[in-house]
Amino acid sequence: MSNDTLVTSGRVALAKLLNASKFLFALSRGNPSWDGMWATPNPPVPPINATGVLDLMGYARPTIQDFLTPDDAGVIIEEGGGKYSVSASPTRYARFKLSLEPGVYAGNTLREIGLFMNPTIDPSVPSSQYMIPANKVTLAGDLLQLHWREAQPITEGDHFSRNFIVRL
């Protein structure tokens, strides 16, 4: 008999590898059949074997990639209530922040967000450009995290922001 554990220093090393990589968010209309299911005891859950999003609107680069530390007084708050602060040194909590500029994708409904690792983006797209049209992404990359949410209609003046925290 034996036991193995992914120790904290190994988790930090993996988080450092993640934060050194390029990422891209895929924004999706998802499946309208999910609407109204969020109040039920069993809301829709993304499948663990997912490789993409269902109804792509476009892509966005993370506006922030950094490390977090759990902190009861932290100002970074997860939807589930967890609180974090930014860490100046690597931790096992990698953060990727999605920020949509007002009016982007107006008239659409956001239901699904995929976080992809190591995308291939057309070289004509400047590295400073956060919003990327679907036709400028040659390969989205490997899906790391998939987020399904209640329908979020997007109107002309809306700004949307969300932190994705990968806990290792």
Q: pLDDT tens, 123-132?
A: 999 999 999 9
Domain limits for position 73: 24-167
Strands ordered across the beta sheet of 93-100: 76-77, 83-87, 64-70, 93-100, 160-167
Contacts (Cβ under 8 Å, ≥6 apart) of 147? 46, 112, 113, 114, 115, 162, 164
In a domain, 18, yes or no: no
Q: Tell me the β-bridge partners of 40.
A: none
In a domain, 162, yes or no: yes
In a domain, 87, yes or no: yes
Nearest alpha-carbon partner for 60 in 124, 152, 125, 7:
125
Number of domains in the chain: 1
In a domain, 80, yes or no: yes
Tens digit of pLDDT at every position of the chain (168 positions): 888 999 999 999 999 999 999 999 999 999 999 998 988 888 899 999 999 999 999 999 999 999 999 999 999 998 888 999 999 999 999 999 999 988 889 999 999 999 999 999 999 999 999 999 999 999 999 999 999 999 999 999 888 899 999 999
H or E element, residue 11: helix 8-19
Write down the pTM of the prediction. 0.93
In a domain, 72, yes or no: yes
Q: Which one-letter amino acid corresponds to residue 91?
A: T
User: What is the spatial distance between Cα 56 and Cα 41, in angstroms, rounded to a whole number?
Assistant: 28
In a domain, 9, yes or no: no
In a domain, 99, yes or no: yes
In a domain, 14, yes or no: no
